[in-house]
Amino acid sequence: MQIDIVSVFPEYFDITGLSLLGKAQEKGLVTIKAYNLRDWTHDVHHSVDDTPVGGGAGMVMKPEVWAECLDDLLGAGGTGRAGGQATDPVLIFPNPSAPLFTQADATGLSQASRLVFGCGRYEGYDARIPDYYRSRGVDVREYSIGDYVLNGGEVAVSVMLEAITRLLPGFMGNPDSIVEESYTGEEPLLEHRQYTRPTTWRGMTVPEVLISGDHQRVDRFRRDEALERTSRIRPDLIGRLDCDRLDKKDRKTLEGLGWRVGPGPHPVKDDGPVSR
């Protein structure tokens, strides 16, 4: 996978040389390049922003500079070709007022051969930039990483980058470690709680079932704990489960937690609708 990142602080991405992501680059699984947007400016101040049309506080990132940069990275006119080769790029802009980035998005994007990220700053980027590249046939995505506002897109890109690249085949030493995780799979739930040795620490003992050696009981205990934690912390995820995929024991656990399982397609909370 090739990843290009455009930012006014490209040094921020020096951290991608560390840890597992650094190793993945050494192994050739992923190539990450960070570019300075100011390299595409022509004025003496290397300005990338201007005042908002219609008035208001702050500054907005200019479309001309972004377009010169993205045309170079994506190919002339942003047709999605670089160096004469079709590269199937996905262009991604972090944006707090966009749909939330989820594990399902990370999974989908981990199949792409090339990602180009554009980091916003100030009050954000001119809204015509993503629209223009969409109109050129580029797969453009805008994502928020949460309901809060950061100073710039660099942190958000780091978050997405890590969520995506850890799903690349060969990235994890033990591939099983990404199979049973929170939000993962056909039935995204929060994960059960985890413990390690010693089994008794400062008078606190791990649940007895986990040291029983009975794998069936362990699996059931973990599944029930995942259902209970998800019901309490993220009831919206329970409300999206497919009733047909729930076994008898799942149903019993959910009913004990105040959910009606069936006759509809998804569980329904006895005391009314749930939202995030």
Binding region for ligand SAM (CB under 6 A): 94-97, 119-121, 123-125, 144-146, 148-153, 156
Q: Are 115 and 92 in contact (CB under 8 A)?
A: yes
Compare residues 148 and 186 and give the one whose CB is closer to ligand SAM. Answer: 148
Residues 6+ apart with CB under 8 A from 232: none
Give CA–CA dist 177/185, Å, rounded. Answer: 13
Compare residues 147 and 247 and give the one whose CB is closer to ligand SAM. Answer: 147
E strands, 95-222, are 114-118, 139-143, 200-201, 204-205
Compare residues 96 and 108 and give the one whose CB is closer to ligand SAM. Answer: 96
> Binding site annotation covers 146?
yes
> Binding site annotation covers 88?
no
> Binding site annotation covers 78?
no
Nearest distance in Å: CB 188, ligand SAM: 20
Nearest distance in Å: CB 126, ligand SAM: 11
> Binding site annotation covers 178?
no
Instruction: State which residue has the least CB distance to ligand SAM.
Output: 120
Compare residues 70 and 241 and give the one whose CB is closer to ligand SAM. Answer: 70
Nearest distance in Å: CB 267, ligand SAM: 30
> Binding site annotation covers 28?
no
* Cα 121 to chain centroid, rounded: 20
Nearest distance in Å: CB 145, ligand SAM: 4
- β-partners of residue 115 are 3, 90
Compare residues 76 and 149 and give the one whose CB is closer to ligand SAM. Answer: 149
Dihedral angle sign, alpha carbons of residues 254, 259, 264, 266: negative
Residues comprising the chain, all counted: 276
Q: Could you tell me whether strands 200-201 and 204-205 are parallel, antiparallel, or unpaired per DSSP bridges?
A: antiparallel
Compare residues 197 and 276 and give the one whose CB is closer to ligand SAM. Answer: 276
Q: Helix (H) and strand (E) counts for the chain?
A: 8, 13
> Binding site annotation covers 17?
no
| Degrees, nearest 5: CA angle 48-139-88 | 105
Give CA–CA dist 192/46, Å, rounded. Answer: 51
Nearest distance in Å: CB 224, ligand SAM: 34
Nearest distance in Å: CB 131, ligand SAM: 15
Binding residues: 120, 145-150
Binding residues for S-adenosyl-L-methionine: 120, 145-150
